[in-house]
Amino acid sequence: MNQTELYSQLTQTILPFWLNQIDEACGGFFGEVDKDLKQVKQAPKNSVMQSRYLWAFSASSQLISSDNLKEASAHGFIFLKEVLWDEEYGGVYWQVSHDGFVRKDKKVLYAQSFALYALSEYYKATKNEEALALAKELFFLIETHAFRDNQMGYAEEFSRDWKEIPICEVGLADIELSYTTNTHLHLFEAYTLLYELWPNPKLLQQLHFLMNLFQEKIIQKEGYCHQFFSGDWHSMTQEISYGHDIETSWLLDRGQAITQSTQLNQQIIELANYTLQHGLDVQGLMNHSTDFLTTDKTKVWWVQAEAMIGFYNAYQKTQEQTFLDATETLWQAIQTYFVDKRHASEWLAYLCADNPDEQSTTKSSSISDNWKGPYHTVRMYLELIKRMEKTYDSH
């Protein structure tokens, strides 16, 4: 694995696939490409994935000089601003139809976080002040409606007018569920980028709150995270999600760098170590999760991508060869199993537990949908290309 390979695959295979999903007729990006590489043009469009498209093209345009990327970013921004944004109550709807009619008007914190993240990245790429203004507005909406009065964490799901409702879109189907690690992580990710562009004292305060939350409630002393919590931060399951843990490791480190903190250094490396020791399977791919009784060995595209970044980040912090070796092992396995060999495709989504030559029959086989998009794979290529530059510069 080297920069040339990463750049070549990103520009010749990965980005062309996602750029081909622009919906010129109805706006935004097509909601699904099925297993036969056919666009499902009637598929609904979720704000999470539409925001991830905007983020991916905005981020890519800062590394790669391309009119197509700039045009795709502008296309995505217009869709977010004119179709997904709720002019009356603020924030983005959860889902619209393929042609832009609101289907689910609820406000989900996970979706607001990705909209904020995408708007911030678009501003970073273009200096479009309207995008930054919307990102700031989202920050104030989230702090007003989602940050709980008891200052224990962020509520996660709301009606259109920001009245709290039970969590059902992202997390367990359990009425007692109050907090998810996933949502708080991606809120932290979004706030980190916004703070880089807009160093607001209140924003910095909330970033420190979230870092403390991960240190004190979410990350366990054994070196893994719990994922689902009741209102008093009592873990509701024993599940370890290897992908979320390694993603948490490097996203917390990114936040530390932006806020000039080192408080989570120990936990960041412990998460990477635990994930490497327990999550990497014999084929050189990451398993999905475990509850200590059984291990879900389904091979999931985004888990591999996040492990690539997380292990390389741990290598940069420690110079331990085992992390670099794991990154190379994963890269080779990704080339063998995940990168779709068909023309004009991307990565496959879910591979069978013990036979990654075959796609899982219990999961979606679509090449893109409202959960599989350009976010994880594009980000992996961008992160590693940029990090390798820094590594080479340091020698």
Nearest alpha-carbon partner for 182 in 110, 271, 116:
110
Q: Are 376 and 302 in contact (CB under 8 A)?
A: yes
Q: Give the number of domains in the chain.
A: 1
Neighbours of 310 (CB within 10 A): 30
Q: What is the DSSP string of 42-58?
A: T--EEHHHHHHHHHHHH
- Is the confidence at residue 9, as pLDDT, over 80? yes
Q: What rounded mean pLDDT belongs to the chain?
A: 96
pLDDT tens, residue by residue, 59-99: 999 999 999 999 999 999 999 999 999 999 999 999 999 99
pLDDT at 392 over 60: no
The residue assigned the tokens 């200052």 is 151
Question: Which SS3 state, helix, strand or coil, does residue 87 take?
Answer: coil
- List of residues 6+ apart from 97 with CB closer than 8 A: 44, 45, 103
- 345-354: pLDDT as tens digits: 999 999 999 8
Question: pLDDT confidence of 394, banded at 50, 70, 90?
Answer: very low
Using alpha carbons, list the distances in angstroms from residue 289 to 224, 296, 303. 11, 5, 10
Strand (E) or helix (H) holding 351: strand 350-351
Is the pLDDT assigned to residue 393 strictly greater than 70? no
Q: Check: CB of residue 309 under 8 Å from CB of residue 379.
A: yes
Residue pointed to by tokens 């940069």: 316
Whether this prediction's pTM lies above 0.75 is answered by yes
Tell me whether residue 292 is exposed, middle or buried, using C-beta atoms within 10 angstroms of its C-beta: 0 to 12, 13 to 18, 19 or more.
exposed
User: Range of 106's domain?
Assistant: 3-394
| Residue 169 to residue 46: CA distance in whole angstroms | 11
Q: Hey, what are 191's tokens?
A: 């706030």
- 229 φ, ψ (degrees, to nearest 5): -135, 150
The CATH number of whichever domain residue 124 belongs to comes to 1.50.10.10
* Span 96-124, average pLDDT: 98
Which of the four pLDDT bands, split at 50, 70 and 90, describes residue 171? confident
Task: Identify the CA nearest to 291 among candidates 256, 334, 239.
Answer: 239
State the pLDDT at residue 357. Answer: 93
